[in-house]
Amino acid sequence: MRPTRVRYGVVGFALTLAILAYIQRVAISQAAGPISADLGLDKQQMGLVLGAFGLSYALFEIPMGLLGDKLGVRRVLTQIVLLWSFFTALTGAAWSLTSMWIIRFLFGAGEAGCFPNLTRMLSQWLPRSERIRAQALMWAFTRWGGAVTPPLVLVGINLFGWRWSFVAFAMLGVVWAVFFLAFFKENPADHPKVNAAELELLKDSQALVSHHEGGWTRILLQPQVFLLIAQYFCWSYVWYFFVTWMPTFLAEEYQQSPAAVAGLAVLPLFLGGLGSLISGALPSWVPRRRVALFAFIALAALMFAVTQVHNVGIVIMLLALGSFSGDLTTPISWNSCVEIGKRYTATVAAAMNMFANFSGFVAPVVGGIILQRTGNNWNLMLYMMVGVASVGAVCWLFLDPTGEREALPARTPA
């Protein structure tokens, strides 16, 4: 009997939600100009608005990951998608710095737990051989969702204004939640279209998400978890530049029009998605930790190179290659959550993503302060990213979640 392919429909839910999450998350960076003009916000204030999402997203990650491990992803994902869609729509009703900050903070709380719960969903619905490829594809789609957002927002702003554009994006999340609730089953055995052969294929995956050694606190206190969290914080610190300050950087430092910025902003996110795909497609004998180590080294070198050139075409290519390098590590990081967390996959993923999104608060806020107090010294912001990426490389000198160091075959003497 051939296995049915119901699991690929589950991957489809993950991919479409990843796109929606990033469309709704990235939209505000492209709308930062009209929002600032309408609400009278300076750079430091806009940095606070951009950072509000990362702060609340980080604070609510572990609680939402724990809920997913306890209550199941079907219930938790449905609730959080409806919640964040509501606050996406409400973004268009903001009338001041305070109201915008509160709305974006609550929007971040709504999105918290999305990717930890998607990681758990994939880990229980896919065999190991397909899991990292699905993670790679999901993160590629997040980047591509972010890549198409600037043109979409530009069209929306021109047609409806920035306020109604956020309402339109919110409706997409509601549609997703309706279909997910109707068709997704928590346990593959409960799905009427899954046959015995597919259940057999998923037997080890079900055992993995049921296995645990001690409580969730014991899992989170492992040194490997600390290193995993630290390196992902470092990549996220740099990545948030691409979805917060990069459009403003291109507009001000290189005098690019809004249409040109929207076009240029596509490339780094597109290549980031390509980096995720390539990482997931690497053959099993390639040590993932070495890939991650060299990716961070390349990221640091490329961000430094941006400070040394003045041609916008070269700059955008360097930024795109930096995004590509950094996103080589993304599927590796998320699959490491499964390898380490097992029964507490969503909790470990939530802890990793929590600190990553603290960087989503720190990076844009620190960037806004630097720009406001140094007369738009963009290079200083970039130098900080170089240093943070270097710390990420150091983490991968010691991080070995799957035991690859021990698993490497010994060399036979000549």
CATH number of 218's domain: 1.20.1250.20
Q: What is the DSSP letter of 412?
A: P
Q: Which domain holds residue 38?
A: 6-186+204-402
> Which ranges of 282-344 would DSSP assign to H, the alpha helix?
288-306, 312-327, 330-341
Look at residue 398 and tell me if it is in a domain. Answer: yes
Look at residue 413 and tell me if it is in a domain. Answer: no
89-99: pLDDT as tens digits: 999 899 899 99
Look at residue 412 and tell me if it is in a domain. Answer: no
- Residue 403's pLDDT band, with cuts at 50, 70 and 90, is low
- Residue 407's pLDDT band, with cuts at 50, 70 and 90, is very low
Look at residue 193 and tell me if it is in a domain. Answer: no
Dump the DSSP string for 251-301: HHHS---HHHHHHHTHHHHHHHHHHHHHHHHS-TTS-HHHHHHHHHHHHHH
Instruction: Tell me: pLDDT of 364 over 60.
Output: yes
Instruction: Tell me: pLDDT of 150 over 80.
Output: no
SS3 125: helix
Give the pLDDT of residue 390.
96
Instruction: Tell me: pLDDT of 412 over 70.
Output: no
Q: Contact 56/48 with Cβ under 8 angstroms?
A: no
Give the pLDDT of residue 235.
94
Give the pLDDT of residue 47.
81
- Cβ atoms within 10 Å of 136's Cβ, excluding its own: 26
Burial of 285 (0-12, 13-18, 19+ CB in 10 A): exposed
Give the pLDDT of residue 324.
95
- Cβ atoms within 10 Å of 240's Cβ, excluding its own: 26
User: Which two three-digit tokens encode residue 392?
Assistant: 């990420």
Give the pLDDT of residue 214.
55
Give the pLDDT of residue 212.
55
Q: Contact 61/119 with Cβ under 8 angstroms?
A: no
Give the pLDDT of residue 308.
92
**CA–CA distance, 190 with 71 (Å, rounded to integer):** 16
**CA–CA distance, 33 with 162 (Å, rounded to integer):** 10
Instruction: Tell me: pLDDT of 339 over 90.
Output: no
Q: Considering the chain, what percentage of its residues have pLDDT values greater than 90?
A: 25
Average pLDDT, the chain: 84
Look at residue 199 and tell me if it is in a domain. Answer: no
Look at residue 411 and tell me if it is in a domain. Answer: no
Quick one: which of 64, 146, 78 has its CA closest to 330?
146
**CA–CA distance, 123 with 138 (Å, rounded to integer):** 13
* Dihedral pair phi/psi, residue 42, rounded to 5°: -90, -175
- Residue 208's pLDDT band, with cuts at 50, 70 and 90, is low
Give the pLDDT of residue 375.
83
Q: Considering the chain, what percentage of its residues have pLDDT values greater than 70?
A: 93
Look at residue 197 and tell me if it is in a domain. Answer: no
SS3 161: coil
* Counted domains in the chain: 1
User: Which two three-digit tokens encode residue 143?
Assistant: 């980047």
Q: What is the DSSP letter of 398?
A: H
Instruction: Tell me: pLDDT of 410 over 50.
Output: no
To which residue do tokens 């459009």 refer? 247
Give the pLDDT of residue 249.
87
Look at residue 407 and tell me if it is in a domain. Answer: no
Q: Contact 297/333 with Cβ under 8 angstroms?
A: no
Instruction: Tell me: pLDDT of 146 over 80.
Output: no
283 sits in the region (left: phi over 0; alpha: psi -120 to 50; else beta) called beta
Residues 6+ apart with CB under 8 A from 184: 10, 13, 74
209-251: pLDDT as tens digits: 555 555 666 777 778 889 999 999 999 999 988 878 888 888 8
Mean pLDDT, to the nearest integer, of 174-185?
92
251-278: pLDDT as tens digits: 888 888 877 887 787 888 889 889 988 9
214 sits in the region (left: phi over 0; alpha: psi -120 to 50; else beta) called left
22-77: pLDDT as tens digits: 777 777 877 888 888 889 888 788 888 888 887 888 888 888 888 887 888 889 99
Sequence-separated contacts (24+) of 289-293 with Cβ below 8 Å: 289/332, 289/396, 289/399, 289/400, 289/404, 289/405, 291/328, 291/329, 291/332, 292/231, 292/328, 292/329, 292/332, 292/333, 292/396, 292/399, 293/393, 293/396, 293/397
